[in-house]
Amino acid sequence: MKVLQVIDQAFRTTVEEQDDTILWLTQSMRGAGADLTVLLSGHGVHYAVQARRQPALVLGSWQQSEPAEIYRDIRRLVDAGVPVYAVRDDIEERGLQQSTVQAGVALIGRQKIADLYEQADQIWQW
């Protein structure tokens, strides 16, 4: 079974969970042998252009020691053979076209999204 994971939100739960929960879920299931593809769309395209670690949360004397590393998680997925796509139109709409897209992330035009959907047995829209 092939599953397309569609992530169209960004930076939800990333502070407390210290990762994106769907990228984490994808890595975990990949480790269990799942056949997955990731599509970053909408606000999710921000993940394709992350270049550094999230800033640590500081509250009083408490300081976070392991903030999220989105670019690391994307790289791990790519290295594990998970195709990762980002919607070019969504990147441009958000003014991110001058940012460097992480190596291994393939840009796809909005008109071609249906092709990705057609290739999957199930679509998991988060």
Told to check if 92 binds another protein by CB under 8 A, we report no
Q: How far apart are CA 29 and CA 68, in angstroms?
A: 19
Q: Which of 63, 97, 119, 125 binds another protein (CB under 8 A)?
A: 125
41, 10 in Cβ contact below 8 A?
no
16-24, 46-54, 62-70, 106-114 -> range binding another protein (CB under 8 A): 16-24
| 82: nearest Cα among 20, 18, 39, 125 | 39
Residues in the chain: 126
Q: How far is the CB of 96 from another protein (least distance, A)?
A: 22
Told to check if 51 binds another protein by CB under 8 A, we report no
Residues 103-122 that bind another protein (CB under 8 A): 122
9-17, 61-69, 96-104, 110-118 -> range binding another protein (CB under 8 A): 9-17
Told to check if 124 binds another protein by CB under 8 A, we report yes
Q: What is the largest CA-CA distance in the chain?
A: 51
What lies within 8 Å, CB to CB, of 89 at 6+ separation is: 109, 110
* Count of Cβ atoms closer than 10 Å to residue 105 Cβ: 22
Contact residues toward another protein (CB under 8 A) are 1, 3, 9, 12-13, 17, 21-22, 25, 28-29, 32-34, 122, 124-126
